Structure 1
Amino acid sequence: MDTATGSTVTPQEALIYAMVTLSASDRQMTDRELRKIGDIVRTLPIFGGFDTDRLVHVAEACGAIVAEDDGLHQVLTTIAASLPKRLHETAYALAVEVAAADLHVEQEELRFLELLRDVLDVDALTAAAIERAARARYRTL
């Protein structure tokens, strides 16, 4: 299906879209965020069988959609349409993981997380638990 019309991509691609869009939301994809996305795709079981050589292509496809008029809405719609309900919390957790990677979360990233949480219907208590766990993992001395 054509993602430009807000249709679907594979669940793995939708998870990547969530991470890439979070990273790009503040108009600055940091090296730490990009490394974190690569590490996640290479190591988490949810990406088993995903051809990591396709990561750049999927990220570029996502970026192209975001750059269009109403692109953010299109990406959010695509993510929601492409993921089974049981992966909604996973998508939110992966986006939070990328946000936490550079140890500072920008306002634009917080806004994207809020939009993602809403479109995926992640309840406030679950979102708070995911966010708190990320803060604990990335805390510094």
Structure 2
Amino acid sequence: MPETETLEPLTPHEALVFAMVLVSAADRTMTDRELKTIGRIVTAMPAFVGFDHGSLSQVAERCVAVLQRADGLERAFALISAALTPSLCETAYAFACDVVAADGRASQEELRVLELMRHRLDIERLVAAAIERGARARHARLG
């Protein structure tokens, strides 16, 4: 896609998916656990009521296409923030944290993308810390 091409705005559902795909792709490896977590979130969470679950792969592919641009990460963040209300920005961050926590380890790249997301979505530091702690607790494993 040409660098000067104007991208279509995202729906709030698409923006939430973009947030999850961003962190999953941050380390260039989208693990099965991360992909399953994205699928579970999309099918089970109230924020996705009314979302066409069959379009998940197309939305994820659109995100990857945006990320392949020279300005991809910044463009993706701009699209996400333009589509979400402040409370949905926190939801997007929470879903992204769940994806990072899903495989039991957070890479430096994933943590950096989360930090950028926190700043770009204007999420307060203490709110972000609480969301991150909740994700760690939800994805803890025995043994």
Give the alignment's TM-score, normalised by structure 1: 0.94
Deviating beyond 3 angstroms after TM superposition, the runs of 4 or more aligned structure 1 residues are: 4-7
C-alpha deviations, 1:78-98, integer Å up to 9, x for none?
A: 000111122111010000000
1:43 is matched with which residue? 44
CA RMSD of aligned residues (A): 1.1
C-alpha deviations, 1:15-49, integer Å up to 9, x for none?
A: 00000011000000000000100110000011011
Structure 2: 5+ residue stretches without partners: none
1:90 is matched with which residue? 91
Asked whether 1:131 is paired with 2:132, we answer yes
2:34 is matched with which residue? 33
Equivalent pair of 1:92/1:117 in contact (CA under 8 Å) = yes
Query: Sequence identity of aligned pairs in percent?
Result: 54
2:55 is matched with which residue? 54
2:9 is matched with which residue? 8
Counterpart residue type for residue 40 of structure 1: I
Following the alignment from structure 1 to structure 2, what is the Cα–Cα distance between the partners of residues 6 and 110? 27
1:113 is matched with which residue? 114
3-state DSSP of counterpart to 2:105: coil
Equivalent pair of 2:98/2:139 in contact (CA under 8 Å) = no
Question: Residues 126 and 16 (structure 1 numbering): CA distance in 2 closer, same or farther, change over 3 Å?
Answer: same
Residues paired across the two proteins, number? 138
